[in-house]
Amino acid sequence: MKKQILIATHNLHKKEEIQHILGTQFLVKTLTDYNLHDEIVEDGKTFHENAEIKAKYCFEKTGIPSIGDDSGLVVDALNGRPGIHSARYASDHDFPKNIAKVLEEMEGINDRKAHFVTVLCYYDEKGPQFFEGKVFGNLLTENKGFKGFGYDPIFVPNGHEITFAEMPPEEKNKISHRKNAIDLMLKEFGSV
């Protein structure tokens, strides 16, 4: 029987990505599946705090082991921005606008180093456990590719010639920040 796990999101892309990484032994559910539509106020000051806020909310509402995921793009030349504000940097979850703002702020800057970070908080009756994954790369000066989501069209991971948005999902999912965090979680638990 598949083990059920609740991800603190309504984002279908995130659900599909996590389901793909976890494989067939898990059944990934989202807030939508449980008809939970309260706004979870992410007022933490770090990825860790925001991930825990989401995971704790889900566990307390359902009693099902839950994962809160907080992810973002960290740009060296922008002093770590957009960071925890990645999804709402220019406009709430409007990534074309968010990307445009980052590209505008990066105009004329040669240092294009950036990384994606994901912090997962696994929350059950024992409380929170955290797992952090990162992937390093560089930002382009324009969008390339249509796969993926978020800032994927401007991010080229180290050792690659194409953006996350140009990669097939199975290729991205082998190296992504979220994959790295999930791998650490699975290693810790043997399997959740």
Catalytic residue list: 70
Give the three-class secondary structure for 63.
coil
Q: Which residue has the tokens 């703002």?
A: 101
* Residues 6 or more apart in contact with residue 65 via CB below 8 angstroms: 5, 6, 59, 122, 123, 124, 192
Using an 8 Å Cβ cutoff, are 181 and 119 in contact? yes
Q: Which of 128, 75, 151 is nearest to 106 (CA)?
A: 75
CA 26 to chain centre: 19
Report how far apart, in Å, the C-alpha atoms of 108 and of each of 1, 77, 103, 104, 140 are: 54, 11, 10, 9, 12
Report how far apart, in Å, the C-alpha atoms of 76 and of each of 32, 112, 123, 136, 137 are: 35, 8, 31, 11, 11
